[in-house]
Amino acid sequence: MKRETLGVLLCYALVYVVWGTTYYFIRAAVHTMPASLVVALRFLAGAVLLAGFALAKGDFRKGLSWRQAGGSALLGILLLLLGNGLLTIAEKTIPSYIASLIVVGGPFYIAAFNYLLFRTRISAIRIGGVLIGVAGIAVLLYDGTSLAGTFHPAVLIAVSGSLCWAFGTSISRALPKAESVFLSTAIQMAVAGGVSLVSALASVPDLGAAFRGVSPWSWFSVGYLAFMGTVTLAAYNHLLVKEPSFRISSYALVNPLIAVALGLAVGEKATPFLAFGVPLILAGLTLMLYGDPIRERLSRKKPAPDASV
């Protein structure tokens, strides 16, 4: 097997598996550590790591304008501080696999924001995927008793985080950013981590006591998120250069399956309609991501009409 092929396969393995496990490790990290500290430590460490990558590649020599730095900083607030930060807060309460399945609705929200902001056309089959996927998320979250009990504050916080991530992803095309993906992402992580650290200093009464109360497993989880999460982001960036986007987007179908399997394996309680919600979400995602190519392929395979009739 060629070295380049092996490298691509390794990148896919990282994106599929590691991103699928991060939800569990967020849950494990916030079990004994304030969420603001988890976000701060994770992203500040990631910023240092990515800045090192950028320095090694010579990206700092390419120059960086204030507008580019500001655009990257704004993305850091939307994607990481609000998007991932709100999810981290929510996982103090909700199971990790529920969080993953809320986040997997991101492509649906991105399609909606792209239409609202840029009037990006959405085909009928993709709209169908959005509707099926959102219905699947609603079925999954329903606790079998009442809507008030289903959409409690932690769920709404997680949904808000996913919407912030989707909005940031959508407007990123219109924002000036650092040319280097590594440098831009390092700025995003530094901003998110820095603001979270200030928040932790202001909101945690006794930081010393908070650190002393952190379990070894929570420390390991923060380290895993900081290092493996950042390495996987680099793998994802590599795939964006080497692989077609429709193939890369398959991670959105694999991540929730891994998150659900891992969450249930460690004893998280299944929702009443899990078996109905997950297939709907995956079916919606499939139509959303691959509906147009599938329809085009099927239409090409239709036999031509018999001219002799």
Gap between the Cα atoms of 247 and 187, Å rounded: 28
Contacts of residue 309, defined as CB under 8 A and 6 or more positions apart, other chains included, come to none
Neighbours of 118 (CB within 10 A): 12
Residue 305's pLDDT is what? 57
* pLDDT digits 0-9 by tens, 166-217: 898 888 888 898 888 889 889 999 999 999 999 999 998 888 899 999 999 9
Gap between the Cα atoms of 138 and 149, Å rounded: 13
Residue 297's pLDDT is what? 82
Residue 309's pLDDT is what? 44
Residue 147's pLDDT is what? 65
Q: Which of 237, 253, 74 is nearest to 164 (CA)?
A: 74
With a cut of 70, list the residues of the chain below it in pLDDT. 1, 146-150, 241, 244-246, 249, 301-309
End-to-end CA distance of the chain: give it in Å, rounded: 52
Cα separations in angstroms, 309 against 305, 306:
9, 6
Gap between the Cα atoms of 256 and 254, Å rounded: 6
Cα separations in angstroms, 131 against 50, 99, 167:
37, 19, 18
* pLDDT digits 0-9 by tens, 87-102: 999 999 998 988 888 8
Q: Which of 247, 250, 274 is nearest to 260 (CA)?
A: 274
Place of tokens 């190519």: 293
CB 33 within 8 A of CB 210: yes
**Which H helix or E strand runs over 127?**
helix 124-141
